[in-house]
Chains A and B, each alone.
Chain A
């Protein structure tokens, strides 16, 4: 298992679009031929990362596809993916996908400091919390200009402050 923790893709800054794609973009695009086994594993890993109860499996699959597109153009991805899969299986003591959810989480924890994990995590996070279905779940409506903004739609409708202020 890789011991070096590299937080290359950790953008602890802001939610900037495409920034994840800034780091290392070249080559290996051709090596991304669909390999359905990998694809399923990625979606399953994203379920472990962001286990919202009310998100449909198809959303995880879509996010996996978007993340894969991002990852596949990254230098060294194919090797990293292979190392990562091997590390996951080693941590699981069996093919990772064959495990129950709880055991998958435990094995994922074991590899959570690897560069593979960081890389997948950043790509998946970026796509997952930009997905309309996830926005709908958390209550974020996205674009508002076409509805005239919030000037007449509740920008200042908070109604519990007086009560909170009066509370001891």
Chain B
């Protein structure tokens, strides 16, 4: 096991071991760059992963105090993991590329009351990295992997889609092994993807990137290590990361460069908490952009109460999607598009999410139809607003004495019409197959945390450049979904991974050129 000295300032420190951090760290280590990865959570082994939502939420979910405002749940604004592997443990693995127009949010949508910008990057430029990400993750329908076999719920969505005339219905684009791949087995359709995959068929950095990085001898994972502050030198370059180790003792790791991948909310929070005399408002925040323009997707869920059994809990929890509505077509009454995805909910989730607040026969009659429930989860383009974001609470502190994050989110006026359209699509789909009842519902908790430290061509519009490199501090990198200039409609992780691969190349080149 490789161990680096705390005083070794030749290492790159990566904060977070999830989709962004785990991939970046491994890519650097593979290229011979020494990396220390600080991860706030502990390290699970396969024996710790069980088919039990409650137990796994206790083992994996990020539960440190946060405050939600606006439309967000006040106590639990966002759902993510605190564990080695990050939220790639909870995720359901839908892995789809952004469309070309989604990289040009400002130009394409020309929205009022929006702080939208175009990405300083095009689809064409990202394509080779998308391909590498798909190879890395074993995305179904790529690299010779067949589409994931459709489970009942996805077959139902596909049948409804055919009746509605949708054409782009697929179970490709899922980072779950449709055949054995990369030393991991084929999906057994166990149906507990959100609780961590017991057999490792679903891509997660816990059992892919992390052990691969460790095998290089250029990587040290420090689990149970919460980064508290990033320090800088007199020249204003970052120089070390202060963190609390597993015993709560304060440690300091020196660094040549620091890459932050704490899943948007924690990334912005860490930069804000790293204020100093030179950077009174936090690192890389000279233009007040850290924490601004937070995005989480417009989300709609819907249940269809079908005439026959569906057993949607069987099999991959998000094993396919319908892409026809991803286009930008303002005749629908809103800008941007959305994805219609297969979904599955346990009885507790049905009661809590779809029927939240209901009781009596209204609830119990629906619950007794559980096996006939079909489900969809729809994610749509979220229009940037500078008022949506992350800031520090003025008084409340967490167990480390750090100000807790306050996450504020309001709908843009584009969201209402999009949500209505998406709900109608779900309704039409389920009703085309004879649904007796369709229940659309809102989800007031973010699973996709984006923006908040976005990349921008003009330094005044964002925090980092097209490589995720902070405009203000050239050895500080943003390495997760916070970089997103806009949300696009699709689930973000494939793009996060592609950006991390690309950023690793940039860091290596900058190092070889003596510029880092």
Contacts and interface: CB of A to CB of B under 8 A. Distances in A.
Interface of A: 8-19, 22-23, 48-52, 105, 112, 121, 125-126, 129-130, 134-135, 137-146, 148-151, 153-161, 164-165, 167
Contacts of B152: 154-158
A134 B368 CA distance: 10
A145 B191 CA distance: 9
Contacts of A15: 53, 345-346, 348-349, 351-353
B344 to A, nearest CB: 11
Interface in B73-113: 73-76, 79
A134 B73 contact: no
A140 B313 CA distance: 8
B121 interface: no
A12 B444 contact: yes
A158 B363 contact: no
A22 B76 contact: yes
Contacts of A22: 63, 75-76
A150 B354 CA distance: 25
A29 to B, nearest CB: 19
Contacts of B51: 142-146
Contacts of A48: 359-360
A100 to B, nearest CB: 15
Nearest to A19: B76
Contacts of A11: 73, 75-76, 352, 356, 445
Contacts of B74: 8
A22 to B, nearest CB: 6
A48 B73 CA distance: 27
Contacts of A129: 346-348, 350-352, 367
Given A17-B56, A125-B348, 20 more contacts: A10-B357, A14-B352, A15-B53, A15-B351, A22-B63, A50-B364, A51-B360, A52-B368, A105-B360, A129-B346, A129-B351, A129-B367, A138-B368, A143-B50, A144-B51, A144-B190, A145-B51, A150-B190, A155-B314, A158-B155
Most buried by A among B51, B359, B370, B433: B359
A119 B169 CA distance: 42
A112 B362 CA distance: 14
Contacts of B56: 17
B371 interface: yes
A16 B360 contact: no
Contacts of B315: 149-150, 155-156
7 contacts: A9-B75, A12-B352, A49-B359, A125-B348, A149-B187, A149-B315, A165-B162
Contact of A145 (B163, B190, B352, B359): B190
Contact of B368 (A10, A137, A148): A137
B191 A149 contact: yes
